[in-house]
Amino acid sequence: MCGIIAIAAKNDCINDIISGLYSLEYRGYDSSGLATIKNNHFEYNKNVGKIFNLEKSVKKNKLTGNVAIAHTRWATHGKPSIKNCHPFIKDNCVLVHNGIIENYTDLLSQYSINKKNIKSDTDSEIIAEIYNKLLNKFNNPVEAIKNLNKKIIGSFSFAFLVHGSNSIFVTKRGSPLVLGIGKHFNAVSSDVLGLPDSTREIIFLEENDIAELNESSISIFDKNTRKIKREKHKFVQKQDFKIKGNYKHFMEKEIFHQPISIEDTILNFADKKRKIVYLPKSNIKFNKFSNIILVACGTAYHSCMVAKYWLEAMTNINVSIDIASEFRYRKNKFSLNSVGIVVSQSGETMDTLKCLDKFKKNNIPTVSIVNVLNSSIARLSDFILPTLAGSEIGVASTKAFTSQLSVLALFALHIQQQEKSINKLYFNSIFEIHKSVNEILNKENEFKKIAQTLVDTKSIFYIGRGVMYPMALEGALKLKEITYKHCEGFAAGELKHGPLALIEKNIPVIVLAPYDENYFKLISNIQEVKARGGRIIMITDKMGAKIAKKYSDKLIIVPKTNFLTSPIIYSLPIQLIAYYLAVFLGTDVDQPRNLAKSVTVE
């Protein structure tokens, strides 16, 4: 986690540094800091809280500089505080770090570091202390990094300022770093989003690369400090996804963007007139695989859960799903003829990335479904299926989730097409999803009213069956993420095996109930809840409403759906309820406490 931005420029670069930090705030936002070097002297500012606090103090202190490194933190070792905030300043160097140093206590003894010199609780300050020693020994910043990297176990991207030089020195292993080249500057950031708007070209650093950048040049070295060249790519300008416009929060904007993002994603892979699904060109014949293994974390994992239902019902392939943080350590055996699919909005989630490695080590072909096309996961996988949601800024995933579902739905149809058994009803219905989504968005006031009734409740439950079971989990995740309320999702049929004990008078139970083959079973489960005093909030279609009226305390009617479209369309109600409840409760919707957008730690 954490974000790094560093710039070496002809002119003052502090505004670009601050704007870069704002763009990286999705990686963590509990404290931030920056340091500059001027006339061989380090100056710095650190602050606890959001970037706004740092910006204020930088302005107040009139901090300027042409060469600066900066950091936004998501605490792993040591709580958010000034003493744990980056950069770390030692005699000869300044450091910012993203990642986790696993052997930092061993390094203390290996380098005979005096514990008194370490003032913070972090795993990072020790690196600054060691680098300081190595600079004294080698008198060469690049050689010193080479020696440092040899001893480290863990993941890192580092940026250093060094006495006697106007360059920035960086290196990476397991955490992303991208170099940005401009007319009068060179920059480096954890993500292209952090780079200045006037960046012209970018270079992705590879594992163990070391780079030195100053205002006019960049030198890249491999792990043995041999000079190397890395490919340059054109920098694509950031889009207006980064501006809230008339919306109160990015999450609100992203929810309301979904008619467009879903349609964009679907039209990218399917042609209504020619009646075909066309995935990007590849030699992979997906219908020839016997097993599909889907792995992801959080919301992306819920999209895999939905896909399991789809793929099992619509194709002849076995499907297994796993949470990435479990899958990577499992001692599972791979059957021949399997394909591994990883799903990730950011494309940087460490556990998901490690699963990709695991697939590769076992010679399993890999597919990634990612929203960030130049992410580590995208670059490492054999085949990419992009979700065209556009940048998602709100920590709670909304439009990226519905785009993941859209791609997975198309993937299932694509396999059916290869198996020559495409379901025409499903195929035609995907082109109508955005209209149903729009209809639901037009009912925003109904969802506000529901949210209002949840303000004083201590617990909330979501239930569903079939494809609505993962959606119940997603509804609960969304709600707890941004409202901080206790909320759980259950497979409705499981209630009587334990969770029913939690139902007491007035406990709200939100039921996701499209009128499908599970509907009547669900009605029985609702009655179990009702009999124990639970308050039923039912989300269903017209047909479902006719029957459900008498069992529900509150009912919202959404458009008719089918097995393939219902998870995408029912995403909207769960997002709107969570969003409006969070607004009523006054939480920090876009940056909820303790979380970060991109989870690059294990």
At 525, which amino acid appears? N
Pick 135 or 473: Cβ nearer ligand AGP: 473
Instruction: Verify binding: residue 349, ligand AGP, rule CB under 6 A.
Output: yes
Pick 122 or 352: Cβ nearer ligand AGP: 352
Pick 16 or 254: Cβ nearer ligand AGP: 254
Residue 392: which of 191, 189, 178 has the closest Cα? 191
* Distance in angstroms (rounded) separating the CA atoms of residues 358 and 340: 10
Write out the binding residues for ligand AGP, residues 363-402 only, by CB under 6 A. 395-397
Pick 45 or 352: Cβ nearer ligand AGP: 352
Position among 346, 402, 540, 565 found at the interface with ligand AGP (CB under 6 A): 346
Which among 38-46, 338-346, 408-416, 510-518 is the span making contact with ligand AGP, rule CB under 6 A? 338-346
> What DSSP character marks residue 390?
-
Which among 17-25, 119-127, 341-349, 548-556 is the span making contact with ligand AGP, rule CB under 6 A? 341-349
DSSP characters over 423-474: -HHHHHHHTTHHHHHHHHHTTHHHHHHHHHHHTT-SEEEEEE-TTHHHHHHH
* β-pair partners for 42: 37
- The position carrying tokens 């360059």 is 167
* Distance in angstroms (rounded) separating the CA atoms of residues 88 and 97: 9
DSSP characters over 17-42: HHHHHHHHGGG--SEEEEEEEETTEE
Pick 29 or 131: Cβ nearer ligand AGP: 29
Pick 50 or 478: Cβ nearer ligand AGP: 478
Pick 194 or 298: Cβ nearer ligand AGP: 298
Which residue, judged by CB position, is nearest to ligand AGP in the bound state? Answer: 298
Least Å from the CB of residue 369 to ligand AGP = 9
* β-pair partners for 383: 367
* Distance in angstroms (rounded) separating the CA atoms of residues 531 and 547: 17
Residue 43: which of 60, 22, 68 has the closest Cα? 68
Which among 273-281, 295-303, 306-314, 542-550 is the span making contact with ligand AGP, rule CB under 6 A? 295-303
Which among 123-131, 291-299, 379-387, 550-558 is the span making contact with ligand AGP, rule CB under 6 A? 291-299
3-state secondary structure of 486: strand
DSSP characters over 127-177: HHHHHHHHHHHHS-HHHHHHHHHHH--EEEEEEEEETT-S-EEEEEEBS--
Instruction: Verify binding: residue 319, ligand AGP, rule CB under 6 A.
Output: no
Instruction: Verify binding: residue 299, ligand AGP, rule CB under 6 A.
Output: yes
How many of the chain's residues bind ligand AGP (CB under 6 A)?
A: 15
Least Å from the CB of residue 38 to ligand AGP = 38
Which among 4-12, 48-56, 238-246, 293-301 is the span making contact with ligand AGP, rule CB under 6 A? 293-301
Write out the binding residues for ligand AGP, residues 205-264 only, by CB under 6 A. none
Pick 300 or 367: Cβ nearer ligand AGP: 300
* Distance in angstroms (rounded) separating the CA atoms of residues 177 and 213: 13
Least Å from the CB of residue 75 to ligand AGP = 17
Question: Interface mask (CB under 6 A) for ligand AGP, residues 449-488, using x and -?
Answer: --------------------------------x-------
CA distances 155 to 100, 124, 174, Å, are 5, 11, 5
Length of the chain: 602
Name the residues annotated as catalytic: 2, 597
Q: Is 277 exposed, middle or buried (0-12, 13-18, 19+ CB in 10 A)?
A: buried
Position among 3, 298, 365, 573 found at the interface with ligand AGP (CB under 6 A): 298
Least Å from the CB of residue 395 to ligand AGP = 5
- Two tokens, residue 19: 């704007």
Position among 199, 268, 345, 518 found at the interface with ligand AGP (CB under 6 A): 345
Point out which residues bind ligand AGP (CB under 6 A).
297-300, 344-346, 349, 352, 395-397, 481, 598-599
